[in-house]
Homo-oligomer: A and B are copies of this chain.
Amino acid sequence: MQSTQIVLRQRPVGAPNAETFEVRTSELPDIQDGEVLLAIRYLSLDPYMRGRLSTAKSYAAPVEIGQVMVGATVGQVLATRHERLHEGDWVVSYSGWQTHAVEHGDMLRKLDPSIAPVTTALGVLGMPGMTAYWGLLEIGRPQPGETVVVAAATGPVGSAVGQIARIKGARAVGIAGGPEKCRLLVDTFGFDAAVDHRAPDFVDQLVAATPDGIDVNFENVGGSVFDAVQRRLNPGARVPLCGLVSHYNDTAMPQGPDRLPGFLSGLLTRSILVQGFIVDIAKVSRATNFWTDMPAWIRDGGVTYLEDIVSGIEQAPEAFSGLLQGANTGKLIVQVS
């Protein structure tokens, strides 16, 4: 069986470009005992993937030149030598940017398509949903009446953060780029207020939307939006930090002035907590009620999700570049085949 694959061709300096990836066709090995052959149906595109293109020290190893680009996938079993998995079964795997893959069956989570659409395993019922759930509830710990602010708020993490915040009785304020996304935040996701970071009066909008200051800043973007938000943090505020997408393409330290001392001083004088975190799927599954809470919230409409589906594996590089610039709306997924 052949697999069409997107492999890393050259590490980008700054934003990924036409030289970063290339398409390759590889012959897959025959499956061995315990293995399955998968047809990849859906590939998740996520901001963290920018980190995998770089050799900078991080929490996971970089993708090597010539290696298939990594990523979470949903696939169907085409052939099986694993006792628990049958032909046609849906599974979640980490097969990366390719059309077919051979995986050991023990590494795969089987999906029940009757519970929720299988694509949710890449979004609200997958890593992004868990990131929102863990970061907000375990680190942010919003109390009823408190104000929670999240940027990239129409994305799969941000939209879940705002909706869970409201379920917990907090005021949810979302930040997004452009009036259309802002309308979506209020109308579709039920945020209490939306702030457009591309508007010239962004800071005034933020102040108006957070009259009592900010108690939880779920941070996934960084940059100038973060600057404005952190100035409004209340004493005792919590900042779960799970992404800095605005900096992922940075090639050097930005010019001054140096904002670090002022930032630290704000943490000190207002007793603020900042906690960087990477979601640990096993830990969330074990230590929280994610698997009962989240499906229930989806069923009762407390948590809505939005998907942005692009067709064809060869579209992945361009869609990924757009993701880093905020071009899409909702969870970005590539429909592979």
Contact = CB atoms under 8 A, between A and B. Distances in A.
Interface of A: 51, 57-59, 222-223, 226, 235, 241-244, 247, 250, 252-278
B253 A259 contact: yes
A158 to B, nearest CB: 16
B255 A261 contact: no
Contact of A59 (B58, B241, B264, B271): B271
A58 B265 CA distance: 9
Nearest to A243: B268
B273 A244 contact: no
B273 A273 contact: yes
A268 B261 contact: no
Given A247-B261, A258-B259, A260-B260, A51 B269 contact: yes
Contacts of A241: 264, 267-268
B235 A264 contact: no
A196 B135 CA distance: 38
Given A271-B59, A273-B276, A264 B222 contact: yes
A274 B255 CA distance: 24
A275 B278 contact: no
A75 to B, nearest CB: 29
Contacts of A261: 222-223, 244, 247, 250, 253-254
Given A235-B59, A253-B257, A271 B278 contact: yes
Contacts of A272: 275-276
A175 B267 CA distance: 22
Given A241-B264, A258-B258, A272-B275, 6 more contacts: A254-B256, A264-B274, A267-B274, A267-B276, A268-B276, A271-B275
A215 to B, nearest CB: 15
Contact of A262 (B253, B269, B275): B253
Contacts of A267: 241, 274-276
Contact of A275 (B59, B226, B247, B273): B273
A273 to B, nearest CB: 5
A244 B260 CA distance: 11
Contact of A57 (B250, B259, B269): B269
